[in-house]
Structure 1
Amino acid sequence: MAAPLRSQVLELLRQDILASEFEPGERLVEARLCTRYDVSRTVIREVLRQLESEGLVTTVPNRGPVVAELTPFDAKALYEVRGALEGLAGALFAERASAEQRDQLNQVLQRISSISDTTDLPAQLAVKNEFYDILIEGAVNPVIATSLRGIHARVQMLRGLSMQAEGRTEQTLKELTAIVDAAAIRGDAEAARQACEEHVRNAASTALREMSARQRERATPPP
C-alpha cells in the first residue's frame, strides 16, 4: 500500500498548495504534515521531494522545505518564455498532430467546458493539464516538451490564482476554443500560434494582477 498511499498524499498536498491552503514561503513542517495527512515521516519526505522536483516546494538552508514563492519578476519571465514555446507548440501541432490527437484535444476542450461553471479547482487544473499534455505531444518536439513541462510545473500555483479570478474561467474557455479551432480543426499553424500566445498573455496578466492583490492583502495590517 506504500506507493498508492504516497500517491494519495502527493495529490492531497499538491491540491492544498494550489488552493493556497499553504501560503508561498510557508514552512512545511514534517510533524504537522504527518498529523494532517495521517502518514509517516518517510511518506512526507518522499512527497516533498517529488513536489520540489515539480517546482511547488523549495528547500531553504536552516529552514527546510517551504512552499515555493515566485516574485512578480520571476512570474513575468516564466510567462514570456511559456508564451513563445506554447505558440510554437500550437503551430507545430497544427502541422504534425495525428487525427487521433486532434480529436483528443477537442474532447478535452468539451470536458473543460462541462466543468467550467463548477468550483472544483483541482478538477479544472487536472483537465487543463491534460489539454496542454496533448498539445505538447502533438507538436512532436522533445525539446519543447521538456522545456514547457518544466515551466508549467513552476507556474502551476499561478494558474490556480488566475483561474479563480472573476470572469477568467469564461475567457479561458474562449481562448482554448480558439486554439482547438486553429490547431486541431483548421490546421492553421499561424492562427494556432497567435491563439496560444494570446492565451498565455491573458493568463499572465490575470496571474500578475492576482499576485499583486495577494501581496497587498498580506501587507495590510489587520483592523
Structure 2
Amino acid sequence: MSTMNLQIPRQAATLRLLVEDRLRTAIASGHFKPGQRLIERELCEQIGVGRTSVREALRQLEAEGLVITIPHRGPEVSSITYEEARQLYEVRALLEGFAGRGFAEHGSDEAIEELRLAVERFATAALGEDRAELVAAKTRFYAVLMNGAGNTFVKQSLTMLHNRITLLRVTSMTQTGRLANSVAEIREIFEAIKTRSGDRAEAACKRHIEMAAHVALAVLAKAEPGETHNGKA
C-alpha cells in the first residue's frame, strides 16, 4: 500500500466534511482501489480522527456510490461495470455540453478568469507525478465549469455523476498520451468559453468527455468477466 498522508488538522471545524474529502480523494487517486475493504479502525489511525467521523464520512460516500457495504464484510470501495461507465459518460457528455454552452453565453468575466486559473493549475499538475494534486486540479476545473454555467440542477446532476465517475479517472488519464490530450481538450473548452461561443463550447465539452470515455471504456473492455478497473476521466 502507498504511503499517502491522510492526516488532517485536529482544529478543523468541519471535521466530517474534511474526512469525506480526504477519503474521496484517496479513492479518486487510486490509493484505495475498487473492491478494497475500508476498515474503520485502520482509517481512524491513518486519518487521525475518531470512529464517529469516519463512520459518517463512509455513509456519505456510500450515498455517492463510491463505497458499498457488503453484509458480514463491511464497507469497501465500489466497482463500476463497463455498461455503467458507458451510461455515465453518455449522460455526462450531454450535461457538460449544456454547461459549457451556458457558461459561454451567460458566465461572468470573473468566472472566466477563474476557469483560466483552473486550467493552468491542471496543466501544471499534469507535468508532475502527484496523483492527488492531479485529481484535485481536475475536480477544481469541473467545479468552476459547473458554477459558471449558472444552472443549479445541472450542477447537482453533474456532481452526482462526477462522484461516481471518480472510480474511472486515474485509469483513463494514466493511459499513454491521454493526459496531454486532456490538457489540450480543456484548453479548447476555455478558449471557446472565453470567446463566448456557445456552439464551440458545447462541442468542446462533449468531445472531451467522449475522448475520456473512449479510453476508459477500452480499459474496461479488456477486463475479464467480473473484473473491474479504476481510473480518471
Report TM bin, short chain.
0.7 to 0.9
Corresponding residue to 2:94 among 81, 84, 101? 84
Q: Counterpart in 1 of 2:33?
A: 23
CA drift of 1:178 comes to 0.7
Q: Counterpart in 2 of 1:169?
A: 179
Q: Counterpart in 2 of 1:124?
A: 134
Task: Give the Cα–Cα distance (whole angstroms) in 2 for the partners of residues 7 and 143 of structure 1.
Answer: 22
Secondary structure (helix, strand or coil) at the match of 2:76 reads strand
Between the two proteins, the alignment pairs up a number of residues equal to 217
Question: Aligned AA for 1:193?
Answer: E
CA drift of 1:14 comes to 2.7
Greater mean deviation of Cα atoms: 150-159 or 11-20: 11-20
Q: Counterpart in 2 of 1:192?
A: 201
Q: Counterpart in 2 of 1:209?
A: 218
Q: Higher helix fraction: Structure 1 or Structure 2?
A: 1
Scaled by the length of structure 2, the TM-score of the pair is: 0.84
Task: Give the Cα–Cα distance (whole angstroms) in 2 for the partners of residues 127 and 107 of structure 1.
Answer: 10
Change (3 A) 1:212 1:35: farther
Q: CA RMSD in A?
A: 2.2
Q: Is 1:159 the counterpart of 2:153 in the alignment?
A: no
Q: Is 1:33 the counterpart of 2:26 in the alignment?
A: no
Secondary structure (helix, strand or coil) at the match of 1:66 reads strand
Change (3 A) 1:130 1:22: closer
Task: Give the Cα–Cα distance (whole angstroms) in 2 for the partners of residues 53 and 77 of structure 1.
Answer: 19
Task: Give the Cα–Cα distance (whole angstroms) in 2 for the partners of residues 84 and 51 of structure 1.
Answer: 25
Greater mean deviation of Cα atoms: 106-115 or 196-205: 106-115
CA drift of 1:22 comes to 2.9
Secondary structure (helix, strand or coil) at the match of 1:24 reads coil
Scaled by the length of structure 1, the TM-score of the pair is: 0.87
Question: Aligned AA for 2:129?
Answer: T
Task: Give the Cα–Cα distance (whole angstroms) in 2 for the partners of residues 181 and 38 of structure 1.
Answer: 43
Equivalent pair of 2:95/2:154 in contact (CA under 8 Å): yes
**Mind listing any 5+ residue stretches in structure 1 that lack a counterpart?**
none
CA drift of 1:41 comes to 2.2
Greater mean deviation of Cα atoms: 188-197 or 120-129: 120-129
Secondary structure (helix, strand or coil) at the match of 1:28 reads coil
Identity %, equivalent residues: 39
Task: Give the Cα–Cα distance (whole angstroms) in 1 for the partners of residues 17 and 223 of structure 2.
Answer: 30
Q: Counterpart in 2 of 1:46?
A: 56
